Amino acid sequence: MRIAALLSDVTDAKTFLLLQKKSDVYSVEINGLKDLEKTENRDEEKYKDLKGNKKKKNEELKKELDLDDHKLSTSQLEEKYGTSIIKGLSSARAAEILARDGPNSLTPPRATPEIVKFLKQMVGGFSILLWIGAVFSWISFGIQFAQGAESAFDNLYLGVVLALVVILTGIFAYYQEAKSTNIMASFSKMIPQQALVIRDAEKKEMAADQLVVGDIVEIKGGDRIPADIRLISTQGCKVDNSSLTGESEPQSRSCDFTHENPLETRNIAFYSTTCVEGTATGIVINTGDRTIIGRIASLASGVGNEKTPIAIEIEHFVYLVAGVAISIGVLFFIISVSMRYKILDSIIFLIGIIVANVPEGLLATVTVSLSLTAKRMAKKNCLVKNLEAVETLGSTSIICSDKTGTLTQNRMTVAHLWFDNQIYSADTSEDQTTQPFDQSSPSWTALSKIVTLCNRAEFRPGQENLPVMKRVVVGDASETALLKFAEVVLGDVMNIRARNKKVAEIPFNSTNKFQLSIHETDDLDDKRFLLVMKGAPERILERCSTIMINGKEEPLDSEKAEAFQTAYMELGGLGERVLGFCHLYLPENEFPDTYPFDTDSMNFPTSNLCFVGLLSMIDPPRSTVPDAVSKCRSAGIKVIMVTGDHPITAKAIAKSVGIISATSETVEDIAKRLNVPVEQVNRQEATAAVVNGMELKDMSLQELDEILCNHSEIVFARTSPQQKLIIVEGCQRQGAVVAVTGDGVNDSPALKKADIGIAMGIAGSDAAKNAADMVLLDDNFASIVTGVEEGRLIFDNLKKTIAYTLTKNIAELCPFLIYIIASIPMPIGTITILFIDLGTDIIPSVALAYEKAESDIMNRRPRNKKKDRLVNEQLAIYSYLQIGIMQSVGAFVTYFTVYAEQGFLPSTLLGVRVDWENNAINDFEDSYGQEWTKYQRTYLQWTGYTAFFVSITIQQVADLIIRKTRRNSIFQQGLFRNKVIWVGIFSQIGIALILTYGLGHVTALNFTPLRFQYWFVAVPFAVLIWVYDEVRKLFIRRYPGSWWDKNMYY
């Protein structure tokens, strides 16, 4: 019933399935239609597709879930699956079935075909514009060629170059994308699961994906269940179904048919759950996608993927730039036509304007920057599956985190002790080697003995060299905690146990609620037996008549019982699991060393014992988490804990890691403090809230929204993984960018739904990893925070990169505009522009990705999706209309200088375009009366291109330096801290030198060797750009909120 209840928690399950109980048959059903009606229309479109899809699957599932294997006897099963429980299947038969059913693994979500991905890169972003440019070039080539013009081939080449640019950047982006996908692929293949199978009457270890229906498999504690299995023999087998149901308590498994319903019956173990202890043998009844988990996972994969924030930002940016390019292009097309330019010429201008306006290299740069960050994040244990998720993490405003394993260490650890009427704290850090509390009391000696002896957990052999905390233990969580605790404090526990031989034992069971054992003592003079017992504190206390204080047994009066109660309540209130310990030395005369202890008849005293102390355990928070949470807090990120645990434990952990801060109170806390009923408390006053899954179930969406809105510190306890989806949707309704951590299969819808789903690398199931955008390799919450930091940094740095790249577009565009309007010789060629965009500018713009944060980026609020755009008005205007224009001025000065020094004074140049470009005029007179042939003019024009190119490059160096910061002075940031920037600067100048002097004789490239002094003409302008930007930043810092700040800060 539990599963049914949990699964039906999904009230708003428009995207999720619902498991409903229908008499004795379980059917998986999506109440798609009904829920679709319920949800607002906005979602309708989006899910139309899914609806259709799911209906089909639904039918299939209904049919197949009519599972009756749990009702069949072993022999019926053997018959049904054509197998034998002793011999197993034959290899040949297994191969047949494998061929029929396919491998026993979950089909990963259907990937987009590679060719589609590739084509998407080819037409995405600016590519369309460039294709248009290329097509226009070819058209004008065709026309000119037909007319027999000499320069026709220039346009052919230009078209080819443009097409090449698109194809190359497309290939590059595709390659980058593929590379990051491969990281993920290699990761998921790292640990192939193995299974122990009986085939051909032999036990074989084989890869779990080779399993087929009818195979006989053996499982033992610690194994993942390799398929859906009908158990046929078990020994103390317990499974952890948390990945299926979210229930973290291990459930025992046997071969008995205990329940009509296959999900509840004890004799079926499910794929991808874990066997916690014991052993079992079973028949595989379902494999791969036909397993229960497989069905859930395949349905979950239907949840729509939203566009990542950075994708939206880049789209916005592409629209912006394309809009500018097209409108300027069309405007000047009209102008040039009305200025009586030939249509063909006007088209060529149009191409030039498009090429000048489109930052061809930028999208590739963005990809590289993102993948650099992804790499950096992978080093910090955040493995990003989708490059764009890098930035999404940075814009996260709410993190819904699991507790176990993410916030905590995922292991029980002794946290407190109580003896001699006093509470002692134990060290719970990850790498403890000693315990600092006072160990001098004789009571401790007695307590430690009980802890050591009354414990069945053991270290796996062969781990002596490992630190205690890292050793693998066979035993349940509490016993493990006690064993490790004792090992740390006392040293060699196994040796102590050996010296105190166990003579009898009653293991823990849920009726007794205690565990007892009787030992010989290692004191050779003392022939008495020692009876030790541990268990639920109140039960232990009932059995005691005395209590040990400072090593002396004292009668247990009401005052001492009161002290016990207080301590018990206090430790319980910390959310800790408390155990009581007591002992009794059996009198030697009644129990001689030959005494036959019988645990069934209990021929020994189990009351009037001596109470020694309490130990309390908790799954302690990871030591790095409190810091990470407070970082989140200062970064304006709300951390919400979502856990299946008990509210008290959840709250205690939340408090200890700072999710609920020390000063804030829940409604219940306030009620308790003011001593009034909960209903009378003003809910607005409480900053914190602990919401129980049961309450959540009955909540309307409005109520949930209210909670999410009104409380800054929220803990959801006792929630099912399905409720996570509701919580995520609730957060998204607040406009938040939500990151969600998860590990179970049932988390996958929430992971998908979240803006960024974070799967646990260690504890996570494959389904969760498939659904997630990011995998946390160390399962540590603190790693998410470093990821957030990287994500925010890359957003800032992309802004800088884009600002840097856009600036020079104006310096590339202005020449065309002035060429058209003033009819001067062409200042810069289209090919030359491509050499800037894809040559000199590439490395510097990537280098900006290495820039350090200007201030503590974790001290500001997450960016507002709607307001803080990647490319905002200020950035565009500042780059285009200010720095860009300054660059143009600098470049034009160089251009005019080159022409003037060769004999063409600026006044001569105005209006000369038609004659200048006339092939028949070979005695073109300059300002000094000299005459030039066409080729001599063209060569001079190329020199002009080169000079213009060099000037832009030089000024881009200044642009690069100013873009290092947006607010701080360059001197605050440090000119030399980012070494890669200097690599960028040197590469930029190096490439320019090579193009100018190395390739200056290759005619097609339109570069010519340039007089050295022309490199310096633009230097004053570069300096001016720097100074101007410093002034801008100074005013921004000086006068925050002023007109200047609003208009100049991007």
Partner 1 sequence: MILLFYLVFYGFLAALFTFTMWVMLQTLSSDIPKYRDRISSPGLMISPKPDTALEFYFNKSDAQSYAEYVSTLRKFLETYDDSKQSQNINCTPGKVFDQNDVAVKKACRFNLSELGQCSGKEDKTFGYSKGTPCVLVKMNRIIGLKPEGEPHIQCTSKDPGAVEINYFPSGGLIDLMYFPYYGKTLHAHYLQPLVAVQLAINSNSTNEEIVIECKILGSPNLKNEDDRDKFLGRIAFKVEMTE
| Region from 363-371, 418-426, 527-535, 922-930 binding partner 1, contact rule CB under 8 A | 922-930
Give catalytic residues, as residue numbers.
Answer: 402
User: How far apart, in whole angstroms, are the C-alpha atoms of residue 954 and residue 840?
Assistant: 10
Smallest separation, CB 814 to partner 1 (Å): 12
* Residues 356, 792 contacting (CB under 8 angstroms): no
Of the candidate residues 16, 514, 819, 932, the single one contacting partner 1 (CB under 8 A): 932
Q: Closest by alpha carbon to 629, among 900, 387, 407, 342? A: 407
| 901 is a contact residue toward partner 1 (CB under 8 A) | yes
Of the candidate residues 157, 595, 597, 939, the single one contacting partner 1 (CB under 8 A): 939
Enumerate residues 6+ apart whose C-beta is below 8 A from 747: 721, 724, 740, 759, 768, 771
Q: Pick the closer one to partner 1 by CB: 151 or 545.
A: 151
| Region from 3-11, 453-461, 639-647, 921-929 binding partner 1, contact rule CB under 8 A | 921-929
Smallest separation, CB 1047 to partner 1 (Å): 7
Amino acid at 708: L
| 623 is a contact residue toward partner 1 (CB under 8 A) | no
Q: How remote is the C-alpha of 554 from its chain's centroid?
A: 57
Q: Pick the closer one to partner 1 by CB: 258 or 930.
A: 930
| Region from 283-291, 464-472, 473-481, 903-911 binding partner 1, contact rule CB under 8 A | 903-911
DSSP secondary structure letter of residue 89: B
| 151 is a contact residue toward partner 1 (CB under 8 A) | no
| 1003 is a contact residue toward partner 1 (CB under 8 A) | yes
Smallest separation, CB 926 to partner 1 (Å): 7
Of the candidate residues 923, 971, 976, 1041, the single one contacting partner 1 (CB under 8 A): 923
| 927 is a contact residue toward partner 1 (CB under 8 A) | yes
Of the candidate residues 80, 633, 934, 967, the single one contacting partner 1 (CB under 8 A): 934
| 900 is a contact residue toward partner 1 (CB under 8 A) | yes
Q: Roughly what angle, to the nearest 10 degrees, separates helices 362-379 and 309-338?
A: 170
Smallest separation, CB 963 to partner 1 (Å): 19
Of the candidate residues 16, 341, 896, 948, the single one contacting partner 1 (CB under 8 A): 896
Enumerate residues 6+ apart whose C-beta is below 8 A from 828: 812, 815, 891, 944, 945, 948, 949
| 1019 is a contact residue toward partner 1 (CB under 8 A) | no
* Residues 156, 138 contacting (CB under 8 angstroms): yes
Q: Pick the closer one to partner 1 by CB: 422 or 908.
A: 908
Of the candidate residues 207, 906, 917, 1035, the single one contacting partner 1 (CB under 8 A): 906
Task: For residue 412, give the 3-state DSSP assignment.
Answer: coil
Q: Pick the closer one to partner 1 by CB: 303 or 909.
A: 909
Q: Closest by alpha carbon to 359, among 800, 700, 812, 671? A: 812
* Residues 256, 266 contacting (CB under 8 angstroms): yes
* Residues 764, 743 contacting (CB under 8 angstroms): yes
Pair type for strands 228-240 and 251-253: antiparallel
Q: Pick the closer one to partner 1 by CB: 66 or 931.
A: 931
Interaction pattern, residues 941-960, with partner 1; x per rule: CB under 8 A = --x-----------------
| 1011 is a contact residue toward partner 1 (CB under 8 A) | yes
User: How far apart, in whole angstroms, are the C-alpha atoms of residue 556 and residue 580?
Assistant: 15
Q: Pick the closer one to partner 1 by CB: 561 or 877.
A: 877
| 1047 is a contact residue toward partner 1 (CB under 8 A) | yes
Listing DSSP states for 217-282 in one string gives EEEETTPBP-SEEEEEEEEEEEEE-HHHH---S-EEE-SS---SSTTT-TTEE-TT-EEEEEEEEE
Smallest separation, CB 862 to partner 1 (Å): 30
| 1023 is a contact residue toward partner 1 (CB under 8 A) | no
Find tokens 């985190």 and name the residue: 401
| 560 is a contact residue toward partner 1 (CB under 8 A) | no
| Region from 100-108, 338-346, 729-737, 880-888 binding partner 1, contact rule CB under 8 A | 880-888
Q: Pick the closer one to partner 1 by CB: 732 or 882.
A: 882
| Region from 15-23, 491-499, 720-728, 915-923 binding partner 1, contact rule CB under 8 A | 915-923
| Region from 576-584, 699-707, 822-830, 918-926 binding partner 1, contact rule CB under 8 A | 918-926
Of the candidate residues 920, 971, 976, 1041, the single one contacting partner 1 (CB under 8 A): 920
| 935 is a contact residue toward partner 1 (CB under 8 A) | yes
Smallest separation, CB 736 to partner 1 (Å): 34
| 882 is a contact residue toward partner 1 (CB under 8 A) | yes
| 985 is a contact residue toward partner 1 (CB under 8 A) | no
| Region from 86-94, 115-123, 788-796, 901-909 binding partner 1, contact rule CB under 8 A | 901-909
| Region from 190-198, 558-566, 750-758, 884-892 binding partner 1, contact rule CB under 8 A | 884-892
Other CB atoms within 10 Å distance of the CB of residue 661: 16
Enumerate residues 6+ apart whose C-beta is below 8 A from 1024: 886, 890
Q: Pick the closer one to partner 1 by CB: 616 or 887.
A: 887
- Using only C-alpha atoms, the chain has a radius of gyration, in whole angstroms, of 37
> How many residues does this entry show for the chain?
1050
Query: What tokens does 46 get?
Result: 């989006």
Smallest separation, CB 922 to partner 1 (Å): 4
Q: Roughly what angle, to the nearest 10 degrees, separates helices 343-357 and 127-147?
A: 150
> How many angstroms separate the most distant Cα atoms in the chain?
134
Q: Pick the closer one to partner 1 by CB: 935 or 986.
A: 935
* Residues 723, 750 contacting (CB under 8 angstroms): no
First to last CA, the chain: 57
Q: Pick the closer one to partner 1 by CB: 588 or 873.
A: 873
Give per-residue burial for 230-268: e unless 16+ CB within 10 Å, then b: bbbebeebbbbbbbbbbbeebbebbbebeeebbbbbbbb
Query: What tokens does 215 get?
Result: 């195979």
| 893 is a contact residue toward partner 1 (CB under 8 A) | yes
| Region from 74-82, 363-371, 460-468, 936-944 binding partner 1, contact rule CB under 8 A | 936-944
Amino acid at 612: V
Q: Is the dihedral of CA 1038, 1041, 1046, 1050 positive or negative?
A: positive
| 905 is a contact residue toward partner 1 (CB under 8 A) | yes
Smallest separation, CB 796 to partner 1 (Å): 26
Q: What is the 3-state secondary structure (H, E, C) of 995-1034?
A: HHHHCCCCHHHCCCCCCHHHHHCCHHHHHHHHHHHHHHHH
Of the candidate residues 931, 986, 1001, 1040, the single one contacting partner 1 (CB under 8 A): 931
Of the candidate residues 255, 889, 912, 993, the single one contacting partner 1 (CB under 8 A): 889
Smallest separation, CB 161 to partner 1 (Å): 21
Pair type for strands 25-29 and 638-642: unpaired
Smallest separation, CB 876 to partner 1 (Å): 14
User: How far apart, in whole angstroms, are the C-alpha atoms of residue 685 and residue 560?
Assistant: 39
Smallest separation, CB 1017 to partner 1 (Å): 8
| 936 is a contact residue toward partner 1 (CB under 8 A) | yes
Q: Degrees (nearest 5) of the Cα angle 292, 399, 691?
A: 75
Smallest separation, CB 944 to partner 1 (Å): 11
Smallest separation, CB 839 to partner 1 (Å): 25
| Residue numbers at the binding site for partner 1 (CB under 8 A) | 881-882, 885-886, 889, 892-893, 896-897, 900-903, 905-906, 919-920, 922-923, 925-936, 939-940, 943, 1003, 1011, 1020, 1024, 1043, 1047
